[in-house]
Structure 1
Amino acid sequence: MSEILTHAVHDTANADLGAHQPKPTAVTEGLTEASVTAYQSGRIATGLWECTPGTFTARRDGYTEICTILSGRVTIEVEGQDPEEFGPGDVMVMPSGWEGAWVVHEPLRKHFTTIDD
């Protein structure tokens, strides 16, 4: 019988995500991000991500992302839709093919799970 391990991140508000790096799709100069993957197997990955205030573009090509905002506030802008603001405790799903802009109003931290197509 193989051993099944529990993968966990405790104290998500203060967990170390490593050094911040420039966000490649940043519209706002100086916007940075950091992340840590807590678990990855096959088509699924989950972890924590954070970024500094500003705007960046994003696409979900080949995977769906489900995330819960842990801290901070963000407005998501998708062409043809009204902007929608998210904050702590809010959950959003960005299906494969999703495209939009994130307008981060204050430092933002989220828990994410991605599922490859």
Structure 2
Amino acid sequence: MSAHNVMSFDDLSAVKPQVEATRDEIMLGGNPQSTTWLISESPDGKMFTGIWQSDRFHIRLRQNGETEYCHILEGVVRLTDSEGNISTFSAGQAFTLGPDFDGEWESLGRVRKHFVVYAP
């Protein structure tokens, strides 16, 4: 039996995946469908943790005040800010998207990540 109030990212059998279609107005290419396994949400609805997955996926991304921590489990992500600066992350790497990030997210093939989002 697991300890109370401890959620594992390893066993998703009790978590119903949410399949989402990305809004057309932010899609730049690839498959607009992604899947999220929401592991936890804070009582005030401001913090979320889970696993997110996409195939080739390219969107316009504005954080709009949210901060997101990502740990890439599979694949490669390329982030391009509004000034054209590029950061690339692959499996085993982690990064944070600050609340003022404005640019593009591109999954270069299948990407799977752990995430923590804080939305004040």
Correspondent of 1:53 among 51, 56, 62: 56
Kindly provide the amino acid, as one letter, of the partner of residue 5 in structure 1. N
Q: Give the corresponding residue for 1:113.
A: 116
3-state DSSP of counterpart to 1:6? coil
Q: 1:114 to 1:68 in 2, by over 3 A?
A: same
Q: Deviations over 1:1-26 (max 9, x none)?
A: xx9521222157xx976363322232
Q: 1:45 to 1:54 in 2, by over 3 A?
A: closer
Tell me if 1:79 matches 2:82. Answer: yes
Q: Give the corresponding residue for 1:26.
A: 27
Kindly provide the amino acid, as one letter, of the partner of residue 6 in structure 1. V
Distance 1:50 1:17 in 2: 14
Tell me if 1:8 matches 2:11. Answer: no
Distance 1:19 1:66 in 2: 20
Kindly provide the amino acid, as one letter, of the partner of residue 7 in structure 1. M
Distance 2:107 2:59 in 1: 8
* Count of aligned pairs between the two proteins: 114
Identity %: 20
Distance 1:108 1:71 in 2: 5
Q: 1:17 to 1:77 in 2, by over 3 A?
A: farther
- Structure richer in strand, relative to its length: 2
Q: 1:37 to 1:18 in 2, by over 3 A?
A: closer
Q: Is the 8 A contact 1:17 1:49 kept in 2?
A: no
Structure 2 residue ranges without an equivalent (≥5): none
Question: Structure 2 length normalisation: TM-score?
Answer: 0.80
Q: 1:89 to 1:78 in 2, by over 3 A?
A: same
Runs of 4+ deviating beyond 4 Å: none
Question: Structure 1 length normalisation: TM-score?
Answer: 0.82
Structure 1 residue ranges without an equivalent (≥5): none
Q: 1:86 to 1:16 in 2, by over 3 A?
A: farther
